[in-house]
Amino acid sequence: MSERNGAVLPEQFSELNPFVARWNNRGMQNQYAARVSSTMDEMQEFYDAIKPHIPEIKQYLDSKDFAEYSEADRTLGSLVFAWVPVAESVEVFKQPKVPDSKMYWDIVDEPQCF
C-alpha cells in the first residue's frame, strides 16, 4: 500500500489501520457525511477503538509543526477529526442524525491545518 492513498498510519498507531479505509475523510463535510451514513454499531466500534489513543495521538502530533506532517500523520489527524462527530452521535444523540433534523450545513470554507 502506498502512502499516497493514506492507508497507512504512523508505525506506533498501526493497530488502527483497519479503520482508515472507512474513516479517513478529509474535511468537515465528508466527516459529517460518514457519520450520517453509518450505523450506530459501526460508529460504536470506531468510537471505542480510537478513544483510548487520543491523548497519545495528540502528544505525537503536537511534537511536529503542521508543515512537517507526513501523509501518514495527516491520515492520523483526519481520523481523529472524523471521530468527533461520531463521538457526538455515540455519547449525546444515540443516533446518526441530530434528532428532528433533516438536512446538514453546506460547509463552504474551512481552514486546512495540515
Partner 1 sequence: MSDQPIFKSGRPDEGWTAMYGLTDELVSYEDMISPEFFELEREAIFRPAWHYVGRVDRVPKPGMYFTKEIEVLKASILVARDDAQDVRVYHNVCPHRGNKLMWEADASKEVSGRCKTFHCKFHGIQYDTGGKVALLTEKEAWLGNQGKELALAEVPFEVWNGFIFVNLNPGGPKESLREFLGEKYYSGFDGYPFETCSERYFFRANAKANWKTMIDGFSETYHAATTHALPFATQPSENLLMGAEHFGIEGRQRMMIYQDWGEIINFDYEGLTRGFGTGPRIEFPKELKNLPLISNPTQIDNWGSVSHKIWPQMFLQHYNPGWYLTYMMWPLAYNEMRFEVEIFMPEPRNFSDALAQKASLFMFLDAALQDFSLLEATQMGLETRAFNQYPLTDQEILVRAFHKEVYQVVEDYKRERGAEIIGRS
96 touches 35 (CB < 8 A): yes
Nearer to partner 1, 7 or 104 (CB): 104
Q: Residue length, the chain?
A: 114
Please identify, among the stretches 9-17, 18-26, 36-44, 102-110, the one whose residues bind partner 1 according to the rule CB under 8 A: 102-110
Helices 71-88 and 28-36 cross at an angle (nearest 10°) of 50
> Is residue 19 a contact point for partner 1 (CB under 8 A)?
no
Nearer to partner 1, 39 or 112 (CB): 112
24 touches 79 (CB < 8 A): yes
Nearer to partner 1, 2 or 65 (CB): 65
Q: How far is the CB of 20 from partner 1 (least distance, A)?
A: 18
Angle 76-33-87 from CA coordinates, rounded to 5° = 60
Chain positions 24 to 83 lying near partner 1, rule: CB under 8 A, are: 28, 31-32, 51, 54-55, 57-58, 61-62, 66, 77, 80-81, 83
**Neighbour-count burial of 29, counting CB atoms closer than 10 A to its CB (0-12 exposed, 13-18 middle, 19+ buried):** middle
The CA distance from 114 to 109, in Å, is 15
What is the contact surface with partner 1 in residues (CB under 8 A)?
28, 31-32, 51, 54-55, 57-58, 61-62, 66, 77, 80-81, 83-85, 87-88, 91-93, 98-111, 113-114
